[in-house]
Structure 1
Amino acid sequence: MKNPSLLKTVSITTLLLTLITGYAFCQEITVTGLIKDIFNHPIEGVSVKIKGSKAEAVSDTAGIYQISAPAKGKLIFSRKGFVTQKVAVNNQNTITIFLVYDLNDPDREINIGYGTVQRSKMTQSVSSVDEKMITRNNTGNIEILFKNVPGVEVVHSGSEMKLRVRGISTINSSSDPLIILDDIPYSGLLSTLNPNDIKSIDVLKDASATAIYGVRGANGVILITTKKSR
C-alpha cells in the first residue's frame, strides 16, 4: 500500500522544483555587449531579439547594445550581410559577439569603389576545391593539397611555405594574400594545418569579390573551411 504522506511530499517537492525552474527562466536581467566583425570593427544596426519574444534592441554606431532578457533565454543577432547567430544568455550580463560576413547573401550590397552592386550581379573570379576533390587527391601533405587548388601558387620563403594568388600584380611591399580560416583571418604557419581537417578551399581575386575585405584583400583572398567549422 502506497504511503499517502510520501506521495504528498513528492508532489510538493515536484511542484516547488517546477516553480523554481519557471522563475529562473522568467527572471529578466539586463544584458549589454559589443558586436564586432571578424576584423574587430564595431557593427551598427544589428538587430538583437529574444527568442519567442517581440522585444528587440539595435546596436549603435559603436556596436553597443542593451536589452532585458530572461536569464535562461536565447538572443538572436541578425543584420543584412552577416550570418545570424543565436546565443544562450545563461545568466550573463555581458555578451560580446563576433558576426561573420555572409558571402552567400545574393542581396548583399558590395562596395566596389565606384558604387555598390548586389553579390548576385557581381562578375567574380572564384576558384574552389570541395571536400570530395580534397578527399580524392589527399596525400596527407598540405603543400601538395594547395598545389592542386586552381589559381594558387605555392612558393617558399626559407623553409616556410607561402601562397600566392595567380593573376594578381601588386605594388605593395607584400604579395601575401589574405587567408581566412573558418571566418577568422589567419596569420599562422600554413605547414601546421592538417589537410585531413580541411573541408573546402575558395580563392577570390576579383575586385568586387574581395572588396568586402578592404585593402587586406588586395592580393587576393583564400578562404579555408575546416570540418570543425559550423
Structure 2
Amino acid sequence: ELCWFFSFVGYEVQEITIGNQSTIDVTLKEDETSLDEFVVTGYTGQSERSITGSVATIKADELVKNPATSVEQQLQGKISGVNITTSGNPGGGAQVRIRGLSNFGNRSPLYIIDGAPSSGGLSDINPDDIETLSVLKDASAASIYGARAANGVVLITTKKG
C-alpha cells in the first residue's frame, strides 16, 4: 500500500495510507514545541540554534515594560548590538543603528512590517500595534533582503484586528 507524509512548519507530520481512495482529507495538528526552535527570516526558515547571536526577538509585553511614547524609546537598551540615539531636539526622531556604522549614505536598517518593506522607520508605527519585533543583525539572517539589508533588518509583526 502507498503511504503519503504530509508536513508543514509548526505542525506534526501526518502519515496517511492510501488504498482505493480518490479523495484524501488531511488535517494537520499544531506542534507548538517546534515553533519555539524556528525563526522565519524572509522567505526561509532557520533553526534558532544556528542563528541565536544574529536574531533577537522581543514580544509586545516586553516592550511595554518601558513606558515610552515611541517604539525607539521602548527598544532602547533591550537588544545587544542595536544602538539608538536621539538628536536631542524636541520632537526629533531617533536613529537606529545595527552593528554600528557600516556604510556611507543611508545607515538606517531595513524595516519590514507584516512582510512589506516600509520606507519610514519605527516612528511610523503605533507601539500598541506591535505583537513582535525581531532584529536580524548579520548577513546570513538578512541575506534574503539583499543589499537593502546591509545595515540590518527590523521585522515587525503587528496585532491583527
> TM-score range with shorter-chain normalisation?
0.5 to 0.7
Aligned to 2:141: 209
Aligned to 2:84: 153
Identity of aligned residues (%): 32
| Alpha-carbon distance change, 183 to 152 in structure 1, aligned in 2, over 3 angstroms | farther
Question: TM-score, normalising length from structure 1?
Answer: 0.43
For 2:104 and 2:96, how far apart are their aligned partners in 1? 13
Cα deviation, residue 215, structure 1: 0.5
For 1:121 and 1:198, how far apart are their aligned partners in 2? 26
Cα deviation, residue 127, structure 1: 2.0
Aligned to 1:127: 56
Cα deviation, residue 170, structure 1: 1.8
Deviations 1:38-84 (A, max 9, x none): xxxxxxxxxxxxxxx89xxxxxxxxxxxxxxxxxxxxxxxxxxxxxx
SS of the aligned residue for 2:57 comes to strand
Aligned to 1:196: 128
Gaps of 5+ in 2: 1-22, 25-40
Residues 114 and 157, structure 2, Cα contact 8 Å, conserved in 1: yes
For 1:123 and 1:132, how far apart are their aligned partners in 2? 21
User: What amino acid is the match of 2:106?
Assistant: S
Cα deviation, residue 213, structure 1: 0.8
1:165 is aligned, of 97, 101, 114, to 97
User: Are residues 1:184 and 2:113 paired?
Assistant: no
Q: How many residues of Structure 1 are paired with residues of Structure 2 in the alignment?
A: 121
Aligned to 1:106: 46
SS of the aligned residue for 1:180 comes to strand
Deviations 1:177-205 (A, max 9, x none): 11111111111253342111111111111
Residues 43 and 144, structure 2, Cα contact 8 Å, conserved in 1: no
User: What amino acid is the match of 2:153?
Assistant: V
SS of the aligned residue for 1:106 comes to strand
User: Considering only aligned residues, what root-mean-square deviation do their CA atoms show, in Å?
Assistant: 3.3
| Alpha-carbon distance change, 122 to 213 in structure 1, aligned in 2, over 3 angstroms | same
Aligned to 2:65: 136
Cα deviation, residue 126, structure 1: 1.7
For 1:206 and 1:179, how far apart are their aligned partners in 2? 15
For 2:139 and 2:153, how far apart are their aligned partners in 1? 10
Cα deviation, residue 146, structure 1: 2.7
Cα deviation, residue 166, structure 1: 3.8
SS of the aligned residue for 2:105 comes to coil
Correspondence 1:219-230 to 2 at 5 A: 219-228=151-160
